[in-house]
Structure 1
Amino acid sequence: MSVILIVDDDSDSLWLLQVVLEGRGHHVVLADDGHPALQIASRYLPDVIVTDWNMPCMDGDVLCERLRCYPALALIPIIMTSAQSAPSDRTGLWNIFFRKPVDIELLATTVDSLAAKRLENRSIRPHCGATPLCRWPAEALKYWA
């Protein structure tokens, strides 16, 4: 099961996306602004983030900037939604942009696809000779026993 974080100051949009994505088997967590979204993202490490651009305290572009600063959150795919066109100078902060009103089926299918890729990468990673969690070589551990 994938975790999807939805960030929007419009409660109707939050509710609609939550119902649709949970119906597709995702676990959905909600935030109404960028500040709580950062805390929730740090806690849940979502597989996909869907965020609105224009919010009262922290806009979606600032949220994306801050998410990209944290190594654990930097590679999470982000879908940006807005009633305005995407500014060309900020496009590298998110993976996909949808202009509102968004076709809910297209958005849900896109979330499914991005979440499936994340889950696939997560299952492959342990078999790729991942770096050990300890920075000390395994031989050094015998001196501590």
Structure 2
Amino acid sequence: MANILLVDDDAENLWSLRIALEDDGHRVTVAADAGRALAILRHEAIEIMITDYQMPGIDGVQLCQMTRSQPAHSSLPIVLLSAATEPAYAPRVWTHFLRRPASIRELIARIDVHAAARLTHAVHVSAGAVRRCTEPAASRWPAVNAGCWP
């Protein structure tokens, strides 16, 4: 389904979410801090990021801002999780905010919406490629009847 990056400094949160998401068919990569998450984003094709808000060093909001500042990830769906209330002091640079304890069903439903949108886009792109490829290439044209040559 989707290639998901989980970012949380709490190993228990990471592993419980990872198990739930992998059981739902997603590929999951984990990072224990924002620095590692940014390195993963540079080298892997991540489709959705789920991050904790309150982490030491770079927090979840700062990670969202740093991610959005990269042109390759400016439209990456980001889910911000926290036991605290949604931050009001910063511009909203995340796609969804879920307050812990968040429902796994709700989280998976949000992920599925983005995965379905990505697949729908891929189908439209593929259909366009098929339409362009239906005309025969010059090398596939029918042969000329040699008997009609002078």
- On whether the aligned pair clears a TM of 0.5, the verdict is yes
Q: Give unpaired runs (5+ residues) of structure 1.
A: 130-145
d(CA) in 2 for partners of 1:87, 1:125: 37
- Residue of structure 2 equivalent to 1:140: none
The superposition leaves residues 27-84 of structure 1 with CA deviations (integer Å, 9 ceiling, x where unpaired) of: 1000011110011112113111100001112100110011011111111100001111
Counterpart of 1:96 in structure 2 is 96
Question: What letter corresponds to residue 113 of structure 1 in structure 2?
Answer: V
Give yes or no for the alignment of 1:67 onto 2:67. Answer: yes
Which residue of 2 is the match for residue 31 of structure 1?
A: 31
Same amino acid, percent of matched pairs: 36
Partners of 1:91 and 1:45 lie apart in 2 by 26
Q: How many residues align?
A: 129
Cα deviation, residue 90, structure 1: 2.4
- Map of 2:143 onto structure 1: none
**Offset of residue 125 of structure 1:** 4.2
- 1:72–1:127 distance in 2 versus 1, CA, 3 Å: farther
- Within 5 A, what are the aligned runs for 1:1-145? 1-125=1-125
Give the aligned CA root-mean-square deviation in angstroms. 1.8
TM normalised by structure 2 equals 0.78
TM-score, normalised to structure 1, is 0.81
CA distance in 1, matches of 2:73, 2:128: 21
Assess if the C-alpha contact under 8 Å between 1:50 and 1:79 holds in 2.
Answer: yes
Which is worse superposed, 58-67 or 110-119? 110-119
Q: Which has the larger radius of gyration?
A: 2
